[in-house]
Structure 1
Amino acid sequence: MKRLTIERLGHRGEGIARDGDARVFVPYALPGETVLAEVAGEQARLAEIVDASPDRVAPVCPHYAHCGGCAVQALRAQAYADWKRGLVETALRNAGLSLPVAPVIDAHGAGRRRATFHARMARGEARVGFMAARSHEIVEIDSCPLLAPELAGALPAARAIAHVLAPRGKPLDIAVTATLEGMDIELRGAGPLEDHESGALIEAAAAHDLARLTNHGRLVALRRAPFVAVGPARVPLPPGAFLQATQAGEDVLGGLVLEAARGARNVADLFCGVGAFALRLAREARVSAFDSAAESVDAMCAGARATSGLKPLGGAARDLFARPLTAQELAPFDCVVFDPPRAGAPTQAMEIARSPLRRVVAVSCNAQSFARDAAILVNGGFAAKNITPVDQFRYAPHVEIVAVFSRGEGQKRPKRSLLG
C-alpha cells in the first residue's frame, strides 16, 4: 500500500500521481487528494482517501467506482467542466496549436438514448451490465441514472435476451436504442441462431415491447418499424446505425453546425451517417452527403424524400478513408462539414487543405484525432474561428467538439455540386 498525492486528472479521467520517477494512474481519485493505493506498475487501485479534494461530491450512482461506464462522477460540476475543456486545450497544445477553446456546453439532456450492455455466460447463467474499468469483468447493474426515460426497460430486455442465449456460452453485446416507436435492439456475438432460439427471442421481444430485434443486422422480430427524429425529418433507423448519444447532443451539435454554415448555398457533409447535419443543412442549402454505411445514407435520403421544404439533398455511399473526396471534387462547395469516427480523417483533411475551400466545419468525438486533423487544416492556411466542446457523455472521458475553420478568397467554383 502506498501513499500518493494526486496531481491532475488524465485524459481517461484517472487521477495521476508520482511514485518516485514513475507515473501512476489511480481511477476515481481527484486532483489534490492524498490517497492510499495498491500500486502495480503504472496502475493502482484506490484503497482509501486520506485527504479529500474540496471538489469531491457524492456520486449519483451506487455502482460508481465498480462499473467502468463512468470515470468522473465525484467531481464538482465546475471543476468537471473545466477538465473537459482542458482535454481539448491539452490535445491542441500537444499538436502544436495555440487556439482558444470556448466553455463546455452541457448536452446531456434527458440522458443517453443508446447504450450497449455486455453479457457474459457461466454455467448456463448470464451476467449483464457494463464492464469494470480497465477490465473485461462484468459489473451487473439494476439501473443506470444516465439513461433516457425511454430506455427504462432496456436492462430487463437485455437480461431476457441474454438468458435465451446463455446456453451458447458466447459473450454478447446488446445495443439498445430509443426510437419513436420504442426500443430497438441489435445483438452482436451470437452468430447464426437456431430456430428454437429465434422463437424464444421473438417471445422476449413481445414481452418487453421491443419495436425491433436484430442479430448482426438480420431481422429476428419486427413489431413496429423504428424511426428517429433527425432535425425536420423522420428517418427509418438501420440496425445498429450510429446516432449521437443524446437527443440534446444531436440538437446542440446540429445547431452549431447550422450556424457555422449559414449563408453557404452548396454544402458537402462528409461521414454523414443518417443525416444529423445534412437534413438540418438542407433547410437552407443544397447538400451532398457521403458515408461508408450505405444503409445509413439510404435512410437519410428516405427521410429527406418524406420531408417537405428541403432543398436538394443527394447521398452517396463512399469509403472516405480509402477514397476521400479530392481537392478537385471539393472545389464546387461553399462549405464542408466533416464528422469522422474517433480515429479522425487525416487523409480527408489533407484533401480539404489542398482544396480551394474557404470554410470548413469540423466535428469530432476525440480530442486527440481532432487536434491532429486541425493541425493539418491550419498548416493548409485555415484559421480556427470557434472551437466549442459539447458534453453529451456525462461523467465519461469523451467530449464532442465543433470547430469552424476559414481562410481567404480562393478560386472560382463551378455552380453544380458533385452529386448533380
Structure 2
Amino acid sequence: MTAEIEAGIAVLGAQGDGIAETPAGPLFVPYVLPGERVRIRPEGEGRAALVAILKASPDRIEPPCPHFTVCGGCALQHMTPQAYAAWKHAQVEAALRPRGVVANIETLISAMPQSRRRATFAATRSRKTLTLGYHGKASHTIVPVSECPLVVPEIERVLPALAALIGHGLSRSGHASLLVTATASGLDVAVSGGKTLDGPLRAELAKQAAIADLARLTWDGEIVAARRAPLVDLSGLNVAPPPGAFLQPTRDGEKSLVALVQEAVGSAARVADLFAGCGTFAAALAPRAAIHAVESEASSLAALARAAREQGPSLRFKPLTTEIRDLMRRPLLAAELKPFGAVIFDPPRAGAAAQCAELAKSTVPVVVGVSCNPATFARDARTLIDGGYRLARLTPVDQFLWSPHIELVGVFLKD
C-alpha cells in the first residue's frame, strides 16, 4: 500500500483539484483548498487521494450535498461563494493570458442551487438491484442519488419514477443514460443504451411515462410517448426542441446571456445568429431586428422556424430566416457577413476558429461571442483582435455551479 504523506496545497488547478507540492513533484488532490495542510495518499499518474485535513482553510464550508466527494458531479461545494467566484474569475484570466488577450473582466454572474433544468443520469442493473444516479469522479461506478442540489425540484422529484421506468428497459449488467430536461409543459426524457424496443416494452414504457407524467419519452432516438409537446420559453417564443437538442442549462443563466447580447447588439437592423440552436438569441432579438439564424442541426432549426412561423406575427417579429450550414467546415464568408450590423456566435466547446477567421476579415461593427470554454474563446478572441476588433466587454456567467466550467460573453467592436 502506498505510504501516506503530508503536504501543503498551493493553488487549485484548472479542474478544481488542489496542487500539492511533494518531494516527488506536484500531485493533484480533489476536495482541498489553497493554504490547507493535508494528509494524502499518492495514487499514481500525478494524482493523490485526500486522507485528512490537518489545517483547514478559512474558505472551507460544509458541502450542501450528502453525495459530495462520492458522486463525481461537483468539484467545489466545499468552498465559500466569495472564494469560488474569485477562483472562477482567475480561471478566465488564466485562459486569456497565453493568447495575450487583455480584458476588464466583469463580476461573475452567479448560478443558484436548484437551477439546472437539464441533467444526465446513469443507470445500471444487477440481478437484484437497479442503480440510478451519477458516475463517481473519474469512474464508471454509478453512485445512487436520492437528491441533488443542482437540479430544479421537478427533476429531483421524478427520480424514483425514472428508476422504475428504466428498470423495465434495462438488461442485467446493462447501462443506460437518461437526459432529463425540465420544460414548461413537463419533463422531456431521452434514454440511450436500453433494451431494443418491441411491442410489449413500448407499451410498458408508455405506461411508465404516464405514471411519471412525462411530456415526452424518447428511447434510443425513437419517440415512444409524446403526451405533450415539451415547450421551452425562449423570450416569449414557445419552442418544442427535438430530443437531445442543445439548451442553456439554467433559465436564469439564459436570461443573463440574452440580456448581455441584447445590450451589445443595440439597434442593429440585421443580425446573424450563428450556431443558433433552437433560437435562444434569435427569439429574443427578432421583435426588433431581422434575424438570419444559421445552425448545422436541421431539427433544431426546424423547431425554431416552425415556432416563429406560428407565433412570430403575434410577437411582432421582424423577418426571421434560417439556414442549415456546418459553420465549422463552411463558415459564412466575409462578403456574406457584409449586410449585418451585428453577429452573434455561440459555438460548441471546440469554438469557432473558421468562422472567426472570416469575421476578422469582415466589416461587421459588432460581434458578440458566447462561449462555454474560456480556452477556445481566448483563441477566437485573439483572431478577432488581430483582425482589428477590440474586446470592449467580457462577462463571466456561471451556469455550472460547483464545477470548473464557466460561460463567457465577449463584445467585440470594430471602430
Calculate the TM-score normalised by the size of structure 1.
0.94
Match of 1:48 in 2: 52
State the one-letter code of the partner of 2:403.
A
Match of 1:293 in 2: 297
Structure 2 contact 155–182 (Cα < 8 Å) conserved: yes
- From 387, 390, 393, the equivalent of 1:386 is 393
State the one-letter code of the partner of 2:264.
A
Could you list the runs of 4 or more consecutive aligned residues of structure 1 that deviate by over 4 angstroms after TM superposition? none
Q: C-alpha offsets along residues 342-373 of structure 1, whole Å, 9 cap, x if unaligned?
A: 11111111111112222100000111111111
Shift of 1:109: 7.0
Structure 1 contact 125–163 (Cα < 8 Å) conserved: no
Match of 1:93 in 2: 97
Shift of 1:13: 1.0
Structure 1 contact 153–208 (Cα < 8 Å) conserved: no
Match of 1:31 in 2: 34
Structure 1 contact 271–338 (Cα < 8 Å) conserved: yes
Match of 1:403 in 2: 410
- From 316, 319, 322, the equivalent of 1:312 is 319
Match of 1:415 in 2: none
Query: Does 2:72 align with 1:65?
Result: no
Structure 1 contact 288–314 (Cα < 8 Å) conserved: yes
SS of equivalent to 1:167: coil
CA–CA distance in structure 2, aligned partners of residues 157 and 365 of structure 1: 32
Match of 1:267 in 2: 271
Structure 1 contact 267–334 (Cα < 8 Å) conserved: yes
- From 230, 247, 250, the equivalent of 2:251 is 247
Structure 2 contact 191–220 (Cα < 8 Å) conserved: yes
Q: C-alpha offsets along residues 158-214 of structure 1, whole Å, 9 cap, x if unaligned?
A: 312321123253321100001111111001123641222212211110111111100
Which is further off, 269-278 or 316-325?
A: 316-325
CA–CA distance in structure 2, aligned partners of residues 185 and 110 of structure 1: 18
CA–CA distance in structure 1, aligned partners of residues 177 and 283 of structure 2: 30
State the one-letter code of the partner of 2:334.
A
CA–CA distance in structure 1, aligned partners of residues 125 and 336 of structure 2: 50
CA–CA distance in structure 2, aligned partners of residues 79 and 218 of structure 1: 45
Query: Does 2:22 align with 1:13?
Result: no
CA–CA distance in structure 2, aligned partners of residues 38 and 205 of structure 1: 46
SS of equivalent to 1:38: strand
With over 3 angstroms needed to count, the CA separation of the structure-2 counterparts of 1:311 and 1:178, relative to structure 1, is same
Match of 1:416 in 2: none
Shift of 1:121: 3.0
| Equivalences for residues 12-411 of structure 1 within 5 A | 12-20=15-23, 22-41=25-44, 42-108=46-112, 111-123=115-127, 125-167=129-171, 169-190=173-194, 192-305=196-309, 306-307=311-312, 308=314, 309-408=316-415
CA–CA distance in structure 2, aligned partners of residues 294 and 317 of structure 1: 6
Shift of 1:376: 1.1
SS of equivalent to 2:11: strand
SS of equivalent to 1:295: helix
With over 3 angstroms needed to count, the CA separation of the structure-2 counterparts of 1:78 and 1:343, relative to structure 1, is same
Q: C-alpha offsets along residues 33-58 of structure 1, whole Å, 9 cap, x if unaligned?
A: 11111112311111100100000011
Q: C-alpha offsets along residues 375-408 of structure 1, whole Å, 9 cap, x if unaligned?
A: 1111111100000000111101111100000112
CA–CA distance in structure 2, aligned partners of residues 21 and 347 of structure 1: 42
With over 3 angstroms needed to count, the CA separation of the structure-2 counterparts of 1:78 and 1:219, relative to structure 1, is same
Question: How many residues end up aligned between the 2 structures?
Answer: 408
SS of equivalent to 1:277: helix
SS of equivalent to 2:188: strand
State the one-letter code of the partner of 1:211.
A
CA–CA distance in structure 2, aligned partners of residues 192 and 278 of structure 1: 38
SS of equivalent to 2:380: helix
Structure 2 contact 218–225 (Cα < 8 Å) conserved: yes
CA–CA distance in structure 1, aligned partners of residues 114 and 170 of structure 2: 33
Q: How high is the sequence identity, in percent, across the aligned residues?
A: 46
CA–CA distance in structure 1, aligned partners of residues 196 and 339 of structure 2: 46
Shift of 1:286: 0.7
SS of equivalent to 1:29: coil
Where in structure 2 are there 5+ consecutive unaligned residues?
Answer: none
Structure 1 contact 5–34 (Cα < 8 Å) conserved: yes
CA–CA distance in structure 2, aligned partners of residues 209 and 132 of structure 1: 29
State the one-letter code of the partner of 1:12.
Q
Shift of 1:98: 2.4
SS of equivalent to 2:41: strand
SS of equivalent to 2:280: coil
Calculate the TM-score normalised by the size of structure 2.
0.95
Shift of 1:326: 1.2
CA–CA distance in structure 2, aligned partners of residues 194 and 271 of structure 1: 37
Structure 2 contact 399–407 (Cα < 8 Å) conserved: yes
With over 3 angstroms needed to count, the CA separation of the structure-2 counterparts of 1:234 and 1:341, relative to structure 1, is same
